[in-house]
Each structure stands twice: as C-alpha cells, then as structure tokens.
Chains A and B, each alone.
Chain A
C-alpha cells in the first residue's frame, strides 16, 4: 500500500489528523493509516464490508462546492466550509473522498458508540472472567472504553443460549457470546469458499450452525477463532488452556507443506508439565507475501508431535537386540566409526522437514566420507526451481488481470492450502487460471481452462502447451489452445507443479516440461514469473538447495549400504520394501524425535530436537528463506540435527559448526550462490505490511500476530542473474498397463507421523482407503484387498465418479506403500 500512496491519492482529515490515502480506501482503513481508531466488529480488512454491526458509525462531512463555479465555499476564517450529513455513516462502507472530514470524537459519535455497544451487551453474557477470549477480546476492550457501567436491560430477560456447542471436532461455539458479525461465515464463504457454517433463523434468534457431515468440516476452521471478535468461537485444542496475557510469543515457521506459513507459538510455563515451558497454541503470524493472516488447521493443530510424551530423550545403542541408553559420546563414536568405515557405502537419507542447516551438514559429512546423501522425496525438479523459480520481488498477491497461473498435477488445497488460497485470489483478481489434472479438484472452480490428461501424461500435456508443440497433442481442443495462448501472452506467468499421481520419473519429466514451457514463453528471470514446486514435505526445496537429491535407486542403495544414516525420515513406516532394505543394511543410525518403525531397525538412535526447541531456516516452494526460533527447552538430552551431524563429523575428522545455527548458515552463504547475500539478520527484517494488525486493537485484524521477527528473503535464480538456462532432454514416461493402475495422491490430513500425535485431529483423519470409479468397482465390497508392489493391504473402498476409469487413487501416507504409479490388483 505504501507505494501506491503517491499516485491517485485522496487527502482527508480524521479527527484532526490529515492523511493521504489511495483512492477507493474505506474510511476505517484510512483511519488505521492515520493512527486514529474507529472501532469495528463486522468489518475485517480482508473481507468485503457489510456494514452490519454499526459499531463504526462516524460523522462525515464534505467540502461545500459552489454550484455554479464548482469552487470550494470558504468559511469566514478562510477554511473550507464543511457540510455534515443528517445521520451518522458506517465508516467501514464509506469510501474516502477529497477534503472529507471524518469525526469520531464528537459527543454525537461517542454516544452512538455507547448506544451500539449497549445493544450488543443486552444479549451478551457477563462471563469475561471465564471466557477464553478474556484479555484479547475487542468487545471487552471496547466495553471498558464506551460501555455503560450498568445494564439497563433486565438481566432475567436476556436470551439464554447454549454455551458449549461443538460445531465440529475442532471448533466450539458459545451461542450466548456470538454477536452476529458474520465474520466467521463470511470467512468460510468469501475467503476459502467452504460455506459449511452459516446462520440459521433470523432476528435475535439467528445462530451459527453447521450442517456439514462431519460438522464444520473445513481445513480453515481455526482461522475463524482468530477473527471472531468475541469468545464465541474457540478451538477444541486451546479452550480453557491459558489466558492470553500469561503466554509468551515466539516466531516460527510451519513445515507441514512447502508454503512456509509464518507462525507464532504461544508458550507458557506450566505446573502440570513440571514447571516446564510448553507450547499452548499455534497462531498465524502476518506475512502478506506468504500466508497473509491465515494458516490451515494442519499447521495450527498438528504441532503436538513436537511436544509429545514419547519423545526420544537419550541416545540408544542396540546391544544383543535390546536398546540400551547410552551417553552421547558412546553413541556418537560408534556411529562415527561405522559411518567412516562404510566410506562410499554410506547412504545418508534426510527427511523433507529438516532445516537448511541440517541438510548442509548432512551433505558435508557424507561428502567428506565419500558416501551418498539422499533427499527423501518423490519429487524431482528442485534444481529447476533454482534456475527458473519465482525470484526476488515476487508476491502472488501481485498477480491479477493479464497474468496466468498454471497448476498441474496437484490437488492444491490438499497439498498446500495457502498456495491454493492465493491462487484462488489471483484468479478472482482476474488472472487466467489453467488447471491441468486428471481428476476434478476444488481448484477447478476458479479455472478459466481445465485440462484433463491421463495419469502419466502430465509432461506430455504441458509440453503441448508450448505453442509450437500443440499440434502433437490429442488434448488440443479449443479450450486447450486458448489456454496455451493465454499462458504464452500473459504478462506474468507462474507454474505450480505438484505430485498428483506422479513418482520420481513422472515428476522429473513434468518439472522439465514446466520449466521448458516457462522458458519458451519468456516467463523466467522476472519477478512474479517462474516455477514453484508443491513439494511433498515442508523443506524439500531447502534440501535441493543444499545439494541433496532424491535417489531413484534408494532401495538398492540401502540394501547395499554398509552404513545407513537416516535423519528425520520413517522409511520403514512408509514402505515395507524400505523396511526389508534397511534390515539388510549392515549398520543403521537413526536420528529422530520419536519411536518409529525405522528406529526399530537402528543400531544407534540419536535423539533430535523438534523445531520448537531450536532455531534454523527453511526454504519454501517459492524459495523464500525464513527463520524460526526456539520456543521451549529441548526434550531430555536431545540435540539439534545439525549439531549431532557436526559431532559425528568431528569424530570422523571433519570440523563442522556444532553450536550455532546462525554460524552454520554462514557456511551455506559461503557455498551456495543463491544464498550469498544472506545472513540471519537479513532474514529477520520486517517492513510495514497492510493491513496493520497487532495486539492493541484486536477488533480490526483479529488475534493473529503482527510480524516483528522477519518476513524472510526470496532467493535469486539463475535466470534472474541472466545465466543461460538449458533443460536437458527427457523421456516421457511410459504408463501403459493392462488392468488397474494405482496412482498416489496427497491428502492434507494423512496418517503420517506428525498428525499421529494431534488428538484433536484424530476424528478428522480418514481411515485407510482407495478410490475407484464406480464403473471399475463391479462386484467389489466396501472393504477390499489391494495388492501393490507385492504387498497386500486391506482397506476401505470409496466410489468416486471423479476418478478416471482404470485408475485406483491411493492416498499417500495411509498405510499403502506407493511412491509412483504402479499396476495394482483390487479384490474382495
């Protein structure tokens, strides 16, 4: 907003403060910019104004113009004559105009605020002392400022309503506290297009209800508790957990998906945890370039794994089949010795949620020992995003009319909810959205063009979108041609590629086809143009950036390994084949937070710290590097991953920084060109954001946190530096199978290791299932046996007309071992 102020501005006065704001600004927003408070309840800067709560009434005057000359009429003292309206006006619906005079502090307006507040309080219970919102409640605050000392309403006549209504598993409603501002329902409808809560009845009987099955079934539900201006909506996770003023705030970054939403962890010292600091809740932290003011429920409620009771707290060594607690020294020297001895037969496997510092060290150590470092991911193309990624100066919020976005092989809301939201918003601003996916997804609703290719044909479909290849494609109908043209002619164009139905081979071809399309259409090397990987885990991009890569031969690598060093990855839990392979490896070192299936195969177990207990950096799908900070003390003797690796390295004869993540980062800066200009300081910088939110006037933006700890930095790209970018040739993968083909897809709420610890999420996580087109399901019951990769698993069968015939859709991390399209047998 700050940049726009210069052009097309309007100057007005708000309670004596003159302010220049962009044309079209609402009076309440202008007041915010001027630092003058106009209280609001229903208005929220991210939503269309509705003017229904009437809290923002102000007196508005306009300069009087002479009818004939059009000149401003002046008072005797030479000031412009101002004509005020007959009635007060809602500042949230009124757009500013030149010379406008807004009065909020007159007696008339103050009285109006008192009156409106009194109306609110006729129905509101007096339960602030036991209310979850107490201490961060706009109504409470405004009542202190304007409220009547005593109620004129007969207390016995107050509307009695239910106080603990579960709207679903995650959100509770206190009907008595609801002030009918419709923020929650508008958020669900307008912002995330998931209208599963709504008003029922009318007048004073209006109440928020949900009729969805299960109730309030939305990935976004937690956000409604942030913007609810009273204590009507609370989360099942936090209700009655703590008072806001007792908690500290620590900045963090979510690692559940590649978006990298900015978080604030609220912590408190707690008696029931033995006086320890614990995380009480996860809140969104504003970053208008990443997650605005929102986070998804997985990020909000999924954090419990990091503070679970069964954390590994001490190193373990297997002796005669049993794990025996050991000293760090003992465990580390054993690990170092075996890894050193393995030499080129050392395989290091790093999970997708480690920090950049961790990857860097794993890479350094493995390289030093001559082994092979593997990034545990099924997606390729992380090298291409470094070449033709989004680049500095990009912000998805800038995309709109004249721009194009291609989303391919991704059920975007499931894979990366905030990317989905920002793509949706860009489409609503006029960007041409092209969705290419074999099945329908929620993203289709905003698409100008929908391309339905067959599973396995993703790269071919994208290749054909380059206009010179379009003739080759049997998809090339009119809409496809228009899509190709729109993309080619777009001012700016961004491609999101995900992992719907792809394994490494398909992902490799797809990412290259996407990069190729961007290069062919001239959409690289400029802000707001480029390739974004919708990675299968939160910091896969960081892994690539630190030089790690997935391995297509991981099974064989492990089988042949003399030593395997597995960090933050549950290979055995994901796939029985890995379990067998690891069992064959000679020596296995596992660095983990919890007890996992992989850990059971370990010879040495090294307890690692969770993200809450340490600091580090992550790199998002857009390649924004962001910092997170320690919030609670480490569990037991656990150490940060990079520190553990550094200590092994030291014993194996390689000096690595083992104390400070910031110092490790200096090593990264020295080694990788894209990171060259960075340091922890730069990552912690903030600049002014719009809307202005914060702890002072919670009524405006909600209880989400302002960002004081860093907006992160977008990395440069090869194309941005003008380096020539070439995409090597690639083979289009062969997908022809007789019979059914199983394809992996992603569900946000999977059965993976993170959500396993979030009790509130359990009811939301589906049990294991596969989906089939009804036409393929003849004779099959509700429960089927799936034969996949030589394993048999019994799962539920869902029928879904969206699934193409011949395809079995298998969600990842639901107990079925699948990492690529695979022939499959489904039987009763």
Chain B
C-alpha cells in the first residue's frame, strides 16, 4: 500500500466502486483530483502511486495530467482565480475586468502573489456567459463559481481568504 492509498483509502475505495472491476483505469481522473487536493498540484510521486493503484504505467497517468487543463503539474497559489475571457464574456467586458483585477492585485496574468495565496489566470468558457464578468476559484476545497463580479467584489473575496489564513 503506497502513501496515497494509505492516506485516502476510503475515498479511493469509493471511487473504484463506480467502475467495473476490470476497468480500474477509469478511476484515474478522480484519483488525480484526490492527489491534487493535497498539494495543489500533481507530483511525480503521485503519478507513480496512482499508476500502482490502477495498474497503469507512470507515463499513462502523466498523459492525463498533460491533456486536461484542470490538473496542474506545477505549484501555484492556494487559490487560483480563473477568469473566463472567452467570447461571450469578452463581449461583456471580461478582458478589461481581468486587466483591472491584475493591476489591483499587483500581478500579471499567470502569476502568483508573493504570499503564495492567489494566482490569476485566464481560462476558456465556463458556462457562465450571461453573468460576466465571472470566474471560478480552484482551490484545495474544490471549484467555486463567482458571477457578476466587479474588481471590488473580487478584492473583497481575496481579502476574506487572507483573513481566513491569518486566523
């Protein structure tokens, strides 16, 4: 039993129960989410361990991380603010919103704040096109949508995370 299995035995068991017994590989995406929850990104060791659990080569597991954009192979801020700047949102000012937000937070798109709390990224359509500007926050807790945003409301959100961290 490897470290991941040890730590998340119950969750892994629950995930595996979703798929036919001889189709364990199907569990690779949920297991990657479990691994990512831990450190905010997927480590090489995670790939090896997930491969062991699911009888996959490390390379096969890695190819999943590489293909899908919600998995990260590099560390970033605890909260990833992922602003949709795709067509519909852009028609409603998403690009300006992102620019202003970055300016106010003091980082560029793709960068992380010095305290390691926030990374701001631009992403493709999130199915929130009628409520632009909008973004999702990817964090260890999962993914949360924030719609009809302003720079002020977003800064307040960031402030609340800071508070939480300090407490």
A–B: direct contact at CB < 8 Å: yes
Does B163 reach chain A (CB closer than 8 Å)?
A: no
Beyond A195-B57, A210-B59, is A201–B67 a contact (Cβ under 8 Å)?
yes
**Mask: chain B, 23-60; 1 = CB below 8 Å from A; 0 = not:** 00000000000000000000010011000000011111
Prevailing SS type, chain B contact patch: helix
Nearest CB of chain A from residue B124's CB, rounded to whole Å: 12
Q: Which residue of A lies closest to B61 (CB)?
A: A211
A211 touches B67 (CB 8 A): no
Q: Select the residue from A195, A210, A211 with max chain B CB neighbours within 10 A.
A: A211
Nearest CB of chain B from residue A184's CB, rounded to whole Å: 12
Does B120 reach chain A (CB closer than 8 Å)?
A: no
Does A709 reach chain B (CB closer than 8 Å)?
A: no
**Mask: chain A, 202-214; 1 = CB below 8 Å from B; 0 = not:** 1000000111110
Q: Of B44, B48, B57, B66, which one neighbours A200 at CB under 8 angstroms?
A: B66
B57 touches A196 (CB 8 A): yes
B65: chain A residues within 8 A (beta carbon) = 200
B58: chain A residues within 8 A (beta carbon) = 196, 211-213
Does A197 reach chain B (CB closer than 8 Å)?
A: yes
Does A198 reach chain B (CB closer than 8 Å)?
A: yes
Does B62 reach chain A (CB closer than 8 Å)?
A: yes
Q: Which residue of B lies closest to A213 (CB)?
A: B58
Tell me the bound Cα distance from A212 to B44 in angstroms.
Answer: 10
A197: chain B residues within 8 A (beta carbon) = 59
Does B63 reach chain A (CB closer than 8 Å)?
A: yes
Tell me the bound Cα distance from A202 to B66 in angstroms.
Answer: 7
B60 touches A200 (CB 8 A): no
A199 touches B66 (CB 8 A): yes
B59: chain A residues within 8 A (beta carbon) = 195-198, 209-212
Tell me the bound Cα distance from A136 to B76 in angstroms.
Answer: 46
A211: chain B residues within 8 A (beta carbon) = 44, 47, 57-59, 61-62
A198: chain B residues within 8 A (beta carbon) = 57, 59-60, 62-63
Tell me the bound Cα distance from A198 to B60 in angstroms.
Answer: 7
Count B interface residues, CB 8 Å.
14
A201: chain B residues within 8 A (beta carbon) = 66-67
Q: Which residue of A lies closest to B47 (CB)?
A: A211
Tell me the bound Cα distance from A213 to B47 in angstroms.
Answer: 12
Nearest CB of chain A from residue B24's CB, rounded to whole Å: 14
Tell me the bound Cα distance from A200 to B48 in angstroms.
Answer: 16
A202 touches B44 (CB 8 A): no
Task: Give the residues from 150 to 201 in chain A that come closer than 8 angstroms, CB to CB, to chain B.
Answer: 194-201
A209 touches B67 (CB 8 A): no
Nearest CB of chain B from residue A632's CB, rounded to whole Å: 39
B44: chain A residues within 8 A (beta carbon) = 211
Tell me the bound Cα distance from A211 to B61 in angstroms.
Answer: 9
Task: Give the residues from 785 to 826 in chain A that come closer than 8 angstroms, CB to CB, to chain B.
Answer: none
B62: chain A residues within 8 A (beta carbon) = 198, 200, 209, 211
Nearest CB of chain A from residue B51's CB, rounded to whole Å: 9
A200: chain B residues within 8 A (beta carbon) = 62-63, 65-67
B60: chain A residues within 8 A (beta carbon) = 195, 198
B63: chain A residues within 8 A (beta carbon) = 198-200, 209
Task: Give the residues from 213 to 256 in chain A that come closer than 8 angstroms, CB to CB, to chain B.
Answer: 213
A212 touches B57 (CB 8 A): yes
Tell me the bound Cα distance from A199 to B47 in angstroms.
Answer: 15
B67: chain A residues within 8 A (beta carbon) = 199-202
Tell me the bound Cα distance from A66 to B63 in angstroms.
Answer: 50
Q: Which residue of B lies closest to A210 (CB)?
A: B59
Q: Which residue of A lies closest to B67 (CB)?
A: A202
Tell me the bound Cα distance from A373 to B48 in angstroms.
Answer: 52
Nearest CB of chain B from residue A223's CB, rounded to whole Å: 17
Task: Give the residues from 56 to 97 in chain B that come closer than 8 angstroms, CB to CB, to chain A.
Answer: 56-63, 65-67
Tell me the bound Cα distance from A210 to B44 in angstroms.
Answer: 12
Q: Which residue of A lies closest to B51 (CB)?
A: A211
Q: Select the residue from A194, A198, A201, A212 with max chain B CB neighbours within 10 A.
A: A198
Tell me the bound Cα distance from A212 to B61 in angstroms.
Answer: 11
Q: Which residue of B lies closest to A215 (CB)?
A: B59
Nearest CB of chain A from residue B8's CB, rounded to whole Å: 22
Tell me the bound Cα distance from A196 to B67 in angstroms.
Answer: 16
Tell me the bound Cα distance from A211 to B65 in angstroms.
Answer: 12
Nearest CB of chain B from residue A212's CB, rounded to whole Å: 6
Nearest CB of chain B from residue A476's CB, rounded to whole Å: 26
Q: Which residue of B lies closest to A197 (CB)?
A: B59
Tell me the bound Cα distance from A197 to B66 in angstroms.
Answer: 13
Q: Which residue of B lies closest to A202 (CB)?
A: B67
Q: Which residue of A lies closest to B73 (CB)?
A: A200
Q: 9 closest A-B pairs (Cβ-Cβ)?
A: A200-B66, A211-B58, A198-B63, A211-B59, A211-B62, A198-B59, A201-B66, A195-B57, A202-B67
Chain A residues within 8 Å of B, Cβ to Cβ: 194-202, 209-213
Pairs across A and B, CB under 8 Å, 26 listed: A195-B57, A195-B59, A195-B60, A196-B57, A196-B58, A197-B59, A198-B57, A198-B62, A198-B63, A199-B63, A199-B66, A199-B67, A200-B65, A200-B67, A202-B66, A209-B59, A209-B63, A210-B59, A211-B44, A211-B47, A211-B57, A211-B62, A212-B57, A212-B58, A212-B59, A213-B58
Other A-B pairs beyond A195-B60, A200-B63, 5, CB < 8 Å: A196-B57, A196-B59, A198-B60, A200-B65, A212-B57
